[in-house]
Amino acid sequence: MKENHFMAKKLRTSGLLIIAGLLVEALSLAWNHPLSFVAFLGLGGLLLAAGILVYLWALVTTASPSETSSAKSREANASTE
């Protein structure tokens, strides 16, 4: 349950960062100017990359349900022994 809550929080953070990056990208595409290119790369690219990294980080740091249940059963076995 705690793992799911942690994952949900990370997914929301990742999603919000990516949406912010995509909005910057959309706005930059509406303006044909060297500064829009810099905003796209510097701000939009940074937000997109941060969002994707948060998502990947959540994937590798959150245990899957099968791992969680096997860890619980190992703990239970250890306590009975």
**Least Cβ distance, residue 73 to other proteins (angstroms):** 20
**Least Cβ distance, residue 80 to other proteins (angstroms):** 30
Cα-based distances in Å from 70 to 7, 36, 41: 19, 51, 44
Binding site for other proteins (CB under 8 A): 4, 7-8, 11-12, 14-16, 18-19, 21-23, 25-26, 28-29, 32-38, 40-41, 44-45, 48, 51-52, 55-56, 65
Only one residue has tokens 């595409």, namely: 29
Q: Which is nearer to other proteins, 41 or 76 (CB)?
A: 41
Distance CA 22, CA 44 (A): 7
**Least Cβ distance, residue 3 to other proteins (angstroms):** 10
The answer to whether 45 touches 18, Cβ cutoff 8 Å, is: no
**Distance in Å from the first CA to the final CA of the chain:** 27
Q: Which is nearer to other proteins, 30 or 78 (CB)?
A: 30
